[in-house]
Amino acid sequence: MRCSFLSTLLLALLSLSKSSFSQVCEDQTQDSKTIVVDQSGQGQFTTVQQAIDSVPAENSIWTHILVKPGIYKEKVMIPGNKPCIVLVGNSASDTVIEWGDGGIVNQSATFTLYAENFKARNILFKNTYNEMTQRGDGSSIKPASAFQITTDKVSFYQCGFISVQDTLTDFQGRHYFDSCYIEGAVDFIWGNGQSIYKGCKINATTDILGGSPGYITAQGRDSATDNGGYIFDQCSVVGNGPIYLGRAYRQYSRVVFNKADLSNVVVPEGWDPWKYAGQEGTITYAENQCTGPGVDMSKRVEWEKTLSDEELRQLTDANIFINQDGWLQKQPF
């Protein structure tokens, strides 16, 4: 299913986001536009998609979409020709965008982003599709993304992402997650993004799998020169059932947990090579200065990497790994 997803998604990228990579947003000190979304009718629009639709094509002005508290039951998409959007809620506890679609991973996301230079703050993105599945052996669970990112220069602050399988499709581009909450059971952070997760809470809800372990990451780096990778810096891992830190979605999969707090839900082996058993030498999975009852390394897979201080710096320093051109500082508050 995922092989066909990759080819389908790449075609979608060509058609929906080819113009976005040439877009430059005006400096954040310049005049910007603000749109208010309010279900009660006190804003310009009552749905998030209506507000996005109002943004002109080839937008180059930072546009703030302020979403008032409420549960917005809608499926949202930002096309590639609408960059420079800042989506702001009140808090992830009272400002929610949710939908319930699943089964076809590249079509199920509650929120799909094709436009670069996007920022979100204080919003919860949720896919409710698997909430109605019968809890037991997990056989009825289907891919159901809460958010799908297929583009560059994207950041999230104090946001939440909730689903069961494929919660966060971190597919392509440079991304920064600060103090976010991510919940799921199977491959719930997956793709080939080049991403730093800073101070995030990772909640493994694997009780839905009936005792079988789940997987936090399925990272898809596919060559030694590929810049992709997921870096978890000072994050915490909690949950209600066993979880692997990751399994290799592609042969050069790269995931690092740095100074993370790992609860006892982390399985002793830590990592799974998946379909690359016997080819683990190209996989980069590492833990550095982690704490908590889940850090016992005595039964970890023997092919887990030990990175040098310089290798860690190259990956954990945002300015080196994802922010070489200073795009994070150019995004407005």
Q: Which residues are known to be catalytic?
A: 166, 187
CA 78 – CA 60 distance, rounded (Å): 14
Task: Give the distance, in angstroms, between the CA of residue 71 and the centroid of all CA atoms in the same chain.
Answer: 21
Distance, CA of 252 to CA of 195 (rounded, Å): 15
List phi, psi (to 5°) of 52.
Answer: -65, -40
Q: Which residue has the tokens 């016992």?
A: 296
Q: Using CB atoms within 10 A of its CB, is residue 301 exposed (0-12), middle (13-18) or buried (19+)?
A: middle
Best CA proximity match to 89, nearest among 119, 64, 121, 62: 121
In one-letter notation, the amino acid at residue 280 is E
Closest CA to 155 of 230, 86, 64: 86
Q: How far apart are CA 243 and CA 134, in angstroms?
A: 20
Structure token pair of residue 112: 């799909």
